[in-house]
Structure 1
Amino acid sequence: MQADNFSWVRQEMIASQVAPRSHLGPGAWLRKNLFATPVDALLSVFAFLVIAWLLPPSLNWLFFDAIWSGADRTACLTTEQGGQLPVGWSGACWPFVSGRFGQFMFGRYPMDERWRVLLAGLIFIALLTPLLIPRAPFKKLNAILFFGVFPFVAFWLLVGGAFGLRYVETPLWGGLMVTLVISYVGIVVSLPLGIILALGRRSHMPIIKLLSVIFIETVRGVPLVAVLFMASFMLPLFVPPGMSFDKLLRALIGVALFASAYMAEVVRGGLQAIPRGQYESADSLGLGYWPQMGLIIMPQALTLVIPGIVNTFIGMFKDTTLVLIISMLDLLGVVKQNISGDPTWATPQTAKTGYIFAAAVFWVFCFGMSRYSQYIERRLDTSHKR
């Protein structure tokens, strides 16, 4: 066949060209993301107006008109503009936060023993950070240390009573420390237990399936408040006489079981999204049930439901505030106690400042979990790869 018959075939690649000016720069980004359609433009303008209305007074109250130094409530009870504004009209009362910061973080944990909490926190960060970095080496060893060794080290550091450390009873614990402890235990326990419950609910063994369904539907059918009450007041009735559970341990059990029931449904949704061909392919390779689940099915299912898993974690982190009803003081509980039970700082300004501080702390942790989950989703998304 003559080469002339292929004259329509390109012999040289066209050199890359610069994108049109209308697709470059801030103006192109604004047109694409904020003003692509008339509706988008209307909503963007409305959002800008709302921000312009709320942002300046918020910044004034939080920073520019705020009180930054003082020893008690009198520092925040000021008048402005020659007495034209009522008492207490000034901005945020940050001396309240700085003066009670130790209680917000540690509760009533002894001052001279708080180094143990800080050391446990540093170990937690040192072990968690490599796990969050995908390319960090020694992942298996790191996971064993974080999930298998760290809980015992943290228990020894926080509780004490052995190897020369003073015993600190859990009723003295409080603040962000309790929030993180409950969240850590809930996350570490709920995910594997939720996976087991999801597999049990999809099991072909009638008894296993029935028990899994009963547990999941029973726990999901009651609020967390009821679960905490049951764990705190009814659980001791089912243990042998003379045996007692620590109140914090009861809360940990209640939160972990409650979160695992919701986690089970999230994981089950991922399992149902896996095409039947994946199961058949695993069967054709001669894999048994557990290798099939561990190597092929479960990794795909968990990847599909990362948003649901992280959403459950975020909800559990925020729900730790409910332990207040069983007389445990997490971060929000300590803030509330200092606002209502300390006459030294009892003013409307300190109440607003304290609640805003607690909300900011919760937002930082929840936003961090959300952003990291989005990063993992993008990293594991292979739909755009060839």
Structure 2
Amino acid sequence: MEERAFIMAAGGTGGHIYPAIAVAEELSERIEGASILFVGTPHGLEREILKGHKFELKLLPARPFPKTIVDLRMILAVLSTALASMMALKMLKALKPAAVMSTGGYASIPVIWAAHKLNRPLAILEPNSIPGRANRKFSQWADVICIAFKTAERFLKGNAIHTGLPVRKDFKLLTRVTARSSLGLKEDEFVLLVFGGSRGARKLNIALWEKLEALLKENEKLIIYHICGAHSWEDAQCILSRLPNNLRKRYFVWAYYEDMPKLIYSSDLAITRAGASSIAELLIAGVPSILVPYPYAMDDHQRYNAIEVADAGAAIVVSDDEMCGDMVYQMVSKLMVEKDKLEAMRRAALSIAKPNATETVVEVLLSIARKGGCNLLEA
């Protein structure tokens, strides 16, 4: 048995991949000589996101399952997943990992099946309030299920623990003061952060741009940080070029920004989609948010993510249909002067944040690995 090997089945979007990276980094620090293998598919963001990390990535030919059975893509999905499952079985037999962790999604199915078949310790990490189909289907095979939202438990079969969602270690190294200082911000400047998750969000971009000039013109202390996504970068350049010079210096736009912890910690308010990772990061930094759930997310899980945060008082939920320039203008202008409301939202965010989620999930993984017979030495 390879007592220091761990497998992370994590692919698709950043919401599946970033939490697994956080766990992998903590494992690498905790376990002497730990070997960590990520498993995904060629169809997601895993290659792009893991490019700057030290972890090995193995790609399997699994494909997403369509929502309807009467679909030719279902045949392709079944065949590709069967092939990927055989490959995963061979891989796990050779590696004999101490434990396997899945963050869900179609990319995880072959690895979950192989871990079950070989009786390897298995943990499932469910990022969303409504679990995905893979995690719902296979949760009974897991030794333990780590959930980010309490509401997820009722959909899962097995031993569920409310751990919160692991976030990047960088979030432990910053404070609002250090982040704002590094960006040269003044204490009385109000920072609005607009971003759309790992792929960007065109709807949010357009809504902001409709009232961008008016927002900046009428709120002299407003600074806007905007991550628009690669697909909207050319449009962003056109918008920027048309802004008057005196306003342009308060609008910062990027296709992608590597150091998101710095931007998040420096912000007074965020407008974003309701992906699990984005929410977890905002909560840890204590940033109030306007959440605009992506309407086509599987099982409408983003809406339920947003509702759980809003019910705690940390966010305001706006539907995708309602989101427009007027909505952005009215809500931002109003919240800029409602300091007490923003402070209450900030406190609510911190109260439901799980800053030790990464360490908790790692403890869970190490626990099931030891129960499975591994003698793990901590560094």
Q: Considering only CA atoms, is the larger Rg found in Structure 1 or Structure 2?
A: 1
More helix by share: 1
Q: TM-score, normalised by structure 2?
A: 0.25
Q: Which has a greater percent of strand?
A: 2
